[in-house]
Structure 1
């Protein structure tokens, strides 16, 4: 979702050399973005202050002599490395008492900028200047050779059309559609002549195994068997993706794939799939979106009652051959 920001920065500054400081899992994504000249590994996870280590990384980063940094997370910790790197212009939204750490602070109007991608793009503009619209959709590039090599390395049959399922969601269970629902949907796609591949990280391997077992083997579990780079290559082969509100949902959208996006505790108004080929499926219950990792009422009805046929009907919008 930051790629439109990168595009706008290049638009404003044609001679720009753009570097990104990011977690390791995002590096394959950044490698597919022509706007990014270089990616730097951010070794700090959530919740870890590690002040001395941040100071060391900052002093190493100072050698790059950056003119400006745009800090996307709203945490205090995320503003420390740019300060320690002595970057003269440090831009970001006010948050967690970051006065002094940032010297180009912006106040966030959540009603004016309801979507995360809009908030990112706002930081490309001068203070008090509006976001330039329309905001372009993210776009990832994939080579046909990489597609073929990745499919062959995993011995995947590409003779049948493929549906991709992304059943994980890093944030928590309240964003994950039930495995039995995914399994029922997999069987229905299989009966219609489609192969079903499950995508996710090693953390999603158990979920993937459960779906594969419940679907009587009709879904092929690739969770934890690919890195993100391989997952991108394989997702580019699918005819349709069915995804929770997750990072892989945004990857599928950036690959231009038709997708069915399933929303439970989160909101498509804040993090929608950035695509004209997306069908959002949500029950819009009174208790949602709650933005909680776990259902505060203990029932997760927003996902429990979101039945497989609802996703099937949404898929028919893009696959008219489905009965």
Structure 2
């Protein structure tokens, strides 16, 4: 394979998918850097990628909002638009999966051998590198921590009156939809049990999660901080890196925490852990499926949201405490 001097990586469009694609992007970047140590790597996509990129373990990669005229592009989204953008930018070699009528725009259209409906999304992305003849030395997510990032997280926690040795992150939202979300009353009860052990919750999420966070934290007799909507993505990741553990729904922040080897507990119901469970050494997925699980729907249409109501708050809090044991 001819060495290139400018490699473009186009990650998927959701934070969780970007994290699940990290091993594949790492394999591609490592392969081309071995061919040309002077390789330039550009990652192009949604604006929040600029915050996420320093954690993706892609040494030397730079973010660009606009597509550069690179030599080779690897496309992890399956959209026609991504292939058309690369062709318009004059990129000579464009590699990605066939589909969405874009095969003629690709220099190499790869068959989709891994089913996203039945196999893990991480393997789906990795097969792009495998079919391109690249060695896969890292099959699981391994994020890197920028210098001073954890110290930044510790300082933010202290600035809000919490003890970093006792703080944990709670992410009660999920962008895909409410069907993935554990009931806020259940999270509140789990937090009360964790607070009885001295642990102090920090709520992370979007501004629309702030009200949920307020209700979850109400009445706790430990220091708390509702940071939902009050941080950048970079700051939220720094807080995760500085925390004792993460309790969250199936979400992008879940994948980030697990990829940083932060103990992570997540209830699953509407989504399938066989397809989207995070990779990490300290992960506990709580899955008590209902007959309708996994429905993969944005909103639950079954009375009582049984896939989540089957999971008790004590299951979550006990799993968090168990992960902290030596």
Shared fold by TM > 0.5? yes
Q: How high is the TM-score relative to the length of structure 2?
A: 0.83
**8 Å Cα contact 1:186-1:219 kept in structure 2:** no
Is 2:259 the counterpart of 1:254? yes
Residues 214, 293 of structure 1: alpha-carbon distance in 2 compared, 3 angstrom cutoff: farther
Is 2:215 the counterpart of 1:193? no
**Cα shift at 1:241:** 0.9
Corresponding residue number in structure 2 for 1:108? 112
- After the TM superposition, which residues 20-99 of structure 1 pair with which residues of structure 2 at under 5 Å, given as runs? 20-35=43-58, 36-41=60-65, 61=67, 64-99=68-103
**Cα shift at 1:11:** 2.6
The correspondence for 1:146, drawn from 149, 152, 159, is 152
**8 Å Cα contact 1:122-1:131 kept in structure 2:** no
- After the TM superposition, which residues 161-176 of structure 1 pair with which residues of structure 2 at under 5 Å, given as runs? 161-176=166-181
Q: C-alpha distance in 2, partners of 1:147/1:111? A: 38
The correspondence for 1:277, drawn from 275, 282, 294, is 282
Tell me the SS of whatever aligns to 1:125: helix
**8 Å Cα contact 1:260-1:281 kept in structure 2:** yes
Structure 1 gaps, min length 5: 42-56
Q: C-alpha distance in 2, partners of 1:177/1:131? A: 39
Residues 262-319 of structure 1, C-alpha deviations (whole Å, 9 max, x = no match): 1121111111111011011011222111111011335421112221011123223213
Is 2:28 the counterpart of 1:9? yes
Residues 119, 210 of structure 1: alpha-carbon distance in 2 compared, 3 angstrom cutoff: same
Structure 2 gaps, min length 5: 1-18
Q: Name the Cα RMSD after superposition.
A: 2.4
Give aligned pairs, total.
299
**Cα shift at 1:7:** 1.8
Higher relative contact order (CA 8 A, sep 6+): 2
Q: C-alpha distance in 1, partners of 2:108/2:301? A: 38
- After the TM superposition, which residues 231-246 of structure 1 pair with which residues of structure 2 at under 5 Å, given as runs? 231-246=236-251
- After the TM superposition, which residues 298-313 of structure 1 pair with which residues of structure 2 at under 5 Å, given as runs? 298-313=303-318
